Amino acid sequence: MGIDLPLLWAVIILFGVMMYVIMDGFDLGIGILYPFFKKKEDRDVMMNTVAPVWDGNETWLVLGGAGLMAAFPIAYAAVLSAFYLPLVFMLVGLIFRGVAFEFRFKATEHQQHFWDKAFIGGSIAATFFQGVTLGAFIHGIDAIDIHTGAYIGNDILHWLTPFSVFTGLGLVVAYALLGSTWLIMKTDGELQQRMRILTRPLAWILLAVIAVISLWTPLAHEAIAHRWFSLPNLFYFLPVPLLVALTMYHLLRTTKYAHAAPFLLTLALIFLGYSGLGISVWPNIVPPHITIWQASSPSQSQGFALIGVLLILPVILLYTAWSYYVFRGKTRHGEEYH
Amino acid sequence: MIALDALTLARVQFGFTVSFHIIFPALTIGLASYLAVLEGWWLHSRKQVYQDLYHFWLKIFAINFGMGVVSGLVMAYQFGTNWSYFSAFAGSVTGPLLTYEVLTAFFLEAGFLGVMMFGWNRVGPGLHFLSTIMVALGTLVSATWIIASNSWMHTPAGYEIVAGKVVPTDWLQVILNPSFPYRLAHMGVAAFLATALFVAAVAAWHLLRGRQQPAIRKMFSMALWMALLVAPLQALIGDFHGLNTLKHQPAKVAAIEGHWENHASPGMPLTLFGWPDMKREETRYALQIPRLGGLILAHSWDGQIPGLKEFAPADRPNATIVFWTFRIMVGLGVLMIALGVWGFYLRCRKRLYQSRAFMHFALWMGPTGIIAILAGWYTTEIGRQPWTVYGVMRTADAVSTHSALQLGISLVIFVLVYFAVFGAGIVYMMRLAQQGPILNEGKETNPGGPGQLHQPMRPLSAAPAVSKDKEQNTNPGN
């Protein structure tokens, strides 16, 4: 076999998780922004910008889970059993958020506010605990049975650290910014104007979050510091913080007048942050001990599933793009489409 | 009293979450195909009644689908959280199968669902019909992969064990494992049957209130044709499936039959009712028909099958439970066949929409499809115990090493959340069902959404709060 299957699969899973973060990011962001918009009409429009697509966006999370199980069963067992409680809380958040899409429009007037709250609470909880899991993951899992990946520690709150709480809050800000810039693109009039106003402080806060995490991680983990600050790595990775600064500058500038640019720039920002995390933990799939090669399933499994990915994923991207195209343009209240 | 150790809690949690989950996909599979038929028929005949039915069932389908998605998400993660040893051991087989399910089914459903639900006025009728077909296809493909994975756990094939982990050697054998065709047929038909019973019950409810509109009569008629066709078919498939199980999991069949040991003669009796007692190793209060068991299972007058006592006590599934879940499933199946036949008889006498006794029967039969599906799954899954992968990995070795406290916390959370959220969802579904089809309903979007005039009229709402809804509704009963 000339191909490094585990490497390919690591790329596929990184891609799948990134697609999830970007796409469900703005869905969840809308829920996080709900508290700032009290009017029912505004909330209707906000929800309707993603109602036709949110389910497909969430599916990337299932692909990440299934792909991890197929290609790196030991990592799947490790991550899911070690982060048991935060993942359960995340799932419960996603349950409330998901059904709110359906129930909110079917509830009676006086029940609707309950599903509004479910949408808000579910979105915030799902995002926060995703971020907590991410922070705990970067921090690494020690009490692992290397052979099976099962978590063998008995501390059920080992994932709860100041760092993981901070990454949890950080992700809430990141998704809120994805949501607000998405809505700049998909709405107009007064609602859009208010999104523009909200985007600036969110962008500044996110910049601060990125800065803090960029300092905190290498200070707390020697391996990560070595990865970034040893020569010649420093020169290879220097573009990352420079690009962040450049993206940020344009984001703040275009927020005042552009429609799609702020959202695209936010995507770039998220991608840069994500790549930074990737650089930090590579080639571990379960920091600090298990690499992608150690966690791999047999090549018969990785090869079989790879055929499906290579053949089907492009088709999925095509019809997903088509469904976004069908619902292109501004979502307005009280306007007839033809 | 069972000790609430981590293993028991993990099994209860899996059973609880999967029981709730299966309700939704079962109806999703049936309703998606039903919607495709309705839309196709509407395009073909241009009869308004089909379009009205399409929009009516689309709303119920949408709620049901949403609940299926979120409860399914929990299932996809539970293998890793609660059964990490199983995932590390057999993830090399179940992982790729789940990956194919996501790639070929979940994305297909999700990608076209938006167009199906909100695109009535945004794409042409041909593209919209294609979207409905794609969603229906997605549900069937999804069932195929997940049944393949589950069947493999019952009748593993096409693999070897290297260094304590499963290595797939032949994917065709893995997927087309010995019990796969039977399980797939049995579950697929069960989904159609359960949906037909649900549709028939909704129609019966309206007919009993004197609402004899064409749309309601039409769905009553369609559902009863379906029941007439698939209820007997399901019994036949079930019989074949049972023989397949006898071949591969004889202990399960012995437990289902409450059959402990063979006597010299005559052949094996069929135990109709009784109380299989695991401790005393006998079925108490048994009501038996001589020779019939052997006749059904071995297809011969003196037929015998292995009794439970031929298996070590540690390898026996709990006969007390599966004996009864199996009988509930079969008993309901007999009633379903009766419903189909009675409906056919009334149809021939031109009294299908007049017989109130029959309508009451159809109404009561509404939830039985779902109940039978649950009973069937309990039979096969509890009957697989003490194995997770049959004969290869015991359930006790598959479970994560979590403290009972952690599992207890999550179980309580799931129970509370599921009853609240899915309880509300089922209430909304029933409310929509009560409203009945609306004449000439065409614009299907959410308030504030594309194609939506800003009016208080909310066609998607199940709420009677808005008076404009009433004007839309031509039900004389309202």
- In the prediction, which pLDDT does B289 show? 73
User: A76 and chain B: CB distance < 8 Å anywhere?
Assistant: yes
Which of B69, B99, B461 faces A55 most closely, judged by CB atoms?
Answer: B69
Q: What is residue B176's predicted lDDT score, i.e. its pLDDT? A: 93
Query: How far is the alpha carbon of B32 from chain A, nearest alpha carbon, in Å?
Result: 16
Pairwise CA distance, residues B154 & B159, whole Å: 14
Confidence class for position B88, pLDDT limits 50, 70, 90 = confident
pLDDT higher than 70, residue A25: yes
Q: Is B70 within 8 Å of A150 when comparing Cβ atoms?
A: no
Contact B130/A at CB under 8 A: no
Closest CA to B117 of B364, B366, B444: B444
Q: How far apart, in whole angstroms, are the C-alpha atoms of residue B253 and residue B248?
A: 10
**Alpha-carbon gap, residue B115 to B106, rounded angstroms:** 15
Mutate one of A81, A144, A146 to test the B interface: name it (highest B CB count within 10 A).
A81
Q: Is it the case that residue B2 has pLDDT exceeding 70?
A: no
* Average pLDDT value for residue range B231-253: 90
Nearest to A153 by CA among B76, B403, B120, B27: B403
Q: Is B145 touching A (CB cutoff 8 A)?
A: no
Q: Give the global pTM.
A: 0.86
Alpha-carbon torsion (B341, B346, B350, B351), positive or negative = negative
Identify the bridge partners of residue B104 per DSSP, sorted by sequence position: none
Taking CB atoms and an 8 Å limit, are A48 and B458 in contact across chains? no
CB-CB contact of B193 with B368 (8 Å): no
Vertex B11, ends B9 and B17: CA angle to 5°? 100
Q: Look at the block and give the residue holding tokens 């019909």.
A: B129
Residues near A61 by Cβ (< 8 Å), separated by ≥ 6? A20, A24, B73
Helix (H) or strand (E) holding B13: helix B6-45
Taking alpha carbons only, the member of A311, A310, A304, A301 closest to residue A72 is A301
Average the pLDDT over B411-424 and give the result: 89
DSSP state of A156: T
Give the confidence band of A333 by pLDDT, cuts at 50, 70, 90.
Answer: low
Nearest-CB residue to A95 (from B92, B417, B465): B417
**Phi and psi of B402, rounded to 5°?**
-95, 155
Residue in the structure block whose two tokens are 């492009």: A314
% residues pLDDT > 90 (chain B)? 38
| Tokens 């919607």 found at | B35
pLDDT, residue B469, reads: 38
pLDDT in tens, A212-252: 888 888 787 777 777 777 777 777 777 778 888 899 888 88
Would you call B278 helix, strand, or coil by DSSP?
A: coil
Q: Is A106 on the interface with B (CB under 8 A)?
A: yes
C-alpha of A205 from chain center: 17
Q: B76 to chain A, minimum CA–CA distance in Å?
A: 7
Question: What is the DSSP-derived secondary structure letter of residue A335?
Answer: B
The confidence band for B39, taking pLDDT boundaries of 50, 70 and 90, is very high
**Residue among A51, A79, A154 minimizing CB distance to B446:** A51
Helix (H) or strand (E) holding A224: helix A222-229
Mean pLDDT score, A75-82: 86
Tell me: pLDDT of B457 over 60. Answer: no
Inter-chain residue contact A52 with B93, CB threshold 8 Å = no
**Domain residue ranges of chain B, discontinuous segments joined by +:** 27-177, 191-401
End-to-end CA distance of chain B: 51
**pLDDT at B264 (0 to 100):** 59
Does B171 or B458 have the greater pLDDT score? B171
pLDDT at B470 over 80: no
CB-nearest to A87 from B77, B111, B428 is B77
pLDDT digits (tens, 9 = 90+) for B373-396: 999 999 999 999 888 899 888 888
Q: Which residue has the higher pLDDT, A125 or B163?
A: A125
Question: What angle in degrees, to the nearest 10, is found between the helix axes of B107-118 and A54-71?
Answer: 170
pLDDT digits (tens, 9 = 90+) for A287-316: 777 888 888 888 888 889 999 899 998 988
CA angle B147, B399, A135 (to 5 degrees): 100
If you average pLDDT over each of B203-207, B211-215, B283-287, which comes out highest? B203-207
